[in-house]
Amino acid sequence: MDISVTIDIKPEWVETAQKFAAEQHQTDRQQQIFLHTLAIYGLHEYLAWGEIESSLTDSYSWHPQTRVLTAWADLYLPNYGRILCAANQKEALIPLPEILPLNCIGCVVVDIAEDLQKLELQGFISTRSFDLEKSQFNRADITAIASLFDELYLLTEEQLLVEQEMLQLSAMDDDLEAYFSPLLDLENIIDIVGRLNRLFYEPKTDLENVFIIDEIDEELPKKEATLMQPEVLFADLSTIDEMDEETPTIVFMSSQVQRQSLLDFPLLEKVAEDADQYTADTPQEKIAEATQALTENLLAKLQQLRDELT
């Protein structure tokens, strides 16, 4: 099986890349954004061949202000997360952003011909293979570009597993159903899978809030809830005079980002310390115990699933 795939560069891709690059004043940034745009187009085309949905306009690299703020390229997959693109990186060690975007799936290495006629998707590397301490990965570690589809299949299975486990738990009683039902939308499931997976490749990450949800009143959520998101971080904000209302929020995942809970009951870290003292006398305590047990159960089952599929 060939490790790489060659894709013809369309004239309209070059036109868009030139337009994006022209927004920059620095020559090196112009070239970087030009290549990034072509790389993203190529990956978008490749995923379309496999009938995988991806959104150019929802990618950070497609918005003028976030394009200025990020020195990397990304393509957004609504059902999975974001894929980074490394364009024309010839070094053995390819640098990564110091803080990865939330739910980063991995990185595709792309080589673009000088005549701009073709580009080559050289291969894929999963986030689990990143050297996060050094913010880099070894080019020799990339696998066949088709392995990206294997990674997406694995993520699909993980999402189904998380959904099934939450459904089973929510069926136990009304309090658990009221708490977990709002988390069953795809966006929250993607986030939960991403946070759980981080334990496998970033074991020091503080994930006690994996199942904590935002804006919970004393009666527990009944309709809508969203997972707490990390603090919003921007690099080089001094380069932008003002951010308009349509500027997309860049959400990063990092152990450096501190999450705060709006819940009245103890965090899962406290539950782990005082588990023997909990008698689940209140709905809050019951939910705290349930989320801790669910986290541990899912970690074990995700590891088993990964062993079976990889």
Contact predicate 263/210, CB 8 Å: no
Contact predicate 254/265, CB 8 Å: no
Identify the pLDDT of residue 99. 82
Identify the pLDDT of residue 280. 53
Say which residue the tokens 């990674």 belong to.
Answer: 151
Whether the model clears a pTM of 0.85, i.e. scores above it, the answer is: no
Q: Where are the domains of the chain?
A: 5-145, 156-309
**Could you give the CA distance from residue 143 to residue 126 in angstroms, rounded to a whole number?**
9
Contact predicate 169/294, CB 8 Å: yes
- Pairing, β 104-112 against β 81-87: parallel
Instruction: Retrieve residue 125's tokens.
Output: 């590397």
* Sites in the chain below the pLDDT cut of 70: 1-2, 202-210, 212-281
Supply the DSSP string of 220-247, one letter for each residue.
--SS---BPPPPP--S-GGG-S---TTS
Identify the pLDDT of residue 62. 94
Around 99, how many Cα atoms within 13 Å sit in the side-chain half-sphere?
18
**Could you give the CA distance from residue 242 to residue 226 in angstroms, rounded to a whole number?**
27
